[in-house]
Each structure stands twice: as structure tokens, then as C-alpha cells.
Amino acid sequence: MPTIPWLDVDKLDFPNVEHALEDPNGLLAVGGDLSKERILAAYRRGIFPWYEESQPILWWSPQPRTVLYPEQVYINRSLRKALRRGDYSVSFDTAFSDVLDGCATLSPKRPGTWITDEMRAAYLGLHKDGWAHSVEVWRGKTLIGGLYGMGIGQLFFGESMFSREANASKIALVHLCGQLQEWGYPLIDCQVGNDYLDSMGAEEINRDTFRQYLDQYCNMAARPVNKWTLNWRYGNVSSPE
């Protein structure tokens, strides 16, 4: 049975991602900590933390990798109608902690959460330092959906999303894709696929291709730096019907 390496809290080294397990898909290492330096080092290598409250910190690099190219986001008829109604507003980086809480809220479809207190504190710190970003969807002054993730160089690493009304998280994702197109971001890392992501146009690429994106875009100058502001508006997104 394969042995999973334990990370030394005093070192930022990770095993080569080629050593990640096939089952469970992508499990690479255990332990370490959730310091800003370690999390940034992980993302730049295509590694992310994902674990539950009762578990040690688990680090993953799945093969294949699910990604979404912003220009290929799929907008079906019901979503297109919701976007055209425009009875909502969308913002970036105005309610990060509330989005985290929304993503962590338990429901029949989400009986457990990996956003532990430790993870929450880590990403709040990353947001304060300009690395983690949120998209908020509002109806009036009520937050009805959103998503958050990491922006490193010119790549966005999606983490989680939530909806309190139909299509709210999809509206957030469409606006993120539109803005990232304008900024020249080539893809959104979605980590592991599911039916929801498939319905939005996500696809799988192999690990080597994903690493090429990491090598090329993670070290590029971020645009913008620190707090993000949404300037894009629905109506000029290219999307298949």
C-alpha cells in the first residue's frame, strides 16, 4: 500500500505531483500547515488543501484536472433569461467573509463542509493580502449567491460557490468569466469535475498541460493587484448557446 508523505511544518517542500495517488485520485501529502507561504507554494505547483474537520490537512493534485476557459462558459436558456432580467447586482471583493460563510453552510445537498475554522482563517488572511477574491450576487442588500478563489499571476483557482436562489452561483461564474476575459486570464482551475461544472462548460485536461499553464501564467504580473473591482457587464460575453 502506498505511503503518503507527511510534510514538515518547517519546510515548504512538496512531493512531485507525479507521485499523487490514483485512488483516492490526487492525494499527494498530509500535514504541514495553512500558512500563506505554504498555500501559495502549493497553488503554484497545482496542489490544493482539502480535508474535513476530523482529518489532518490533506494536499491534492488530481489527474486529470478540471478547468473552465472563460470564453467557453456555457449559458443555457434559463440562465440567459436570468441574466437578461438584470434584477440583481454583482460585485467583487465586497463581502468575502460572507461568501465564505455561504459556501460553508450545510444543506441537504451539502451535508458536510471542508471549510473548517482553520481553512476559513487562512483564506481570510489571503484575502486581506490580496490573493483570495470573492464574487457576490445581490438582490437589493441581500447576498443570494457567490463564489471565491485564488488569483495568482494571471490564473484563477476556484474554490467554492453557493446559491440561495436559482442561478445565483451561475450568475457569479458568468461575471467572473467575463471579467477574466477582459483581463486576459486564460483559464479557471476547477480542481475536480462534477455535473454542475460540466453544465457550465468545464472540461478536463491532463496534468502536464495544466502544469504548462502554471509555469507560464503564475509568474506573470497580476492584473489587477490586491482588491478586484468588477467592470464587465453582461451582454458582451462570448458563449455557446
94 and 25 fall within a common domain? no
Position 35 in a domain: yes
Provide the 10 A C-beta neighbour count for residue 122. Answer: 19
**Per-residue pLDDT at 108:** 57
Answer yes or no: is pLDDT of 239 > 70.
Answer: no
58 and 71 fall within a common domain? no
The position carrying cell 480542481 is 191
**Per-residue pLDDT at 111:** 52
94 and 163 fall within a common domain? yes
106 and 83 fall within a common domain? yes
At residue 208 the predicted structure's pLDDT band, cuts being 50, 70 and 90, is very high
Provide the 10 A C-beta neighbour count for residue 107. Answer: 10
In sequence order, which residues have a C-beta less than 8 Å from that of residue 91 and are 6 or more positions away? 135, 136, 138, 230
73 and 150 fall within a common domain? yes
Answer yes or no: is pLDDT of 121 > 50.
Answer: yes
Please state the rounded mean pLDDT for residues 188-192. 98
- Mean residue pLDDT of the chain comes to 93
| Domain range enclosing 88 | 66-217
Answer yes or no: is pLDDT of 114 > 90.
Answer: no
Position 27 in a domain: yes
CATH number for the domain that contains residue 177: 3.40.630.70
pTM: predicted TM-score of the whole model, two decimal places: 0.93
Residue % of the chain over a pLDDT of 90: 87
- The number of residues in the chain equals 241
67-81, 105-119, 134-148, 190-204: the lowest-pLDDT one: 105-119
> Cα–Cα–Cα angle for 134, 196, 158, nearest 5°?
30
Residue ending a domain, choose from 62, 86, 102: 62
Which runs of consecutive H residues, i.e. helices, occur in the chain? 36-44, 77-85, 96-104, 117-128, 168-183, 195-199, 207-217
180 and 135 fall within a common domain? yes
| Nearest partner of 60 among 13, 27, 22, 95, judged by Cα | 27
Answer yes or no: is pLDDT of 236 > 70.
Answer: no
**Per-residue pLDDT at 112:** 57
Q: Please, what is the angle between helix 117-128 and helix 36-44, to 10°?
A: 80
Answer yes or no: is pLDDT of 237 > 70.
Answer: no
Tell me which of 237 and 183 has the higher pLDDT. 183
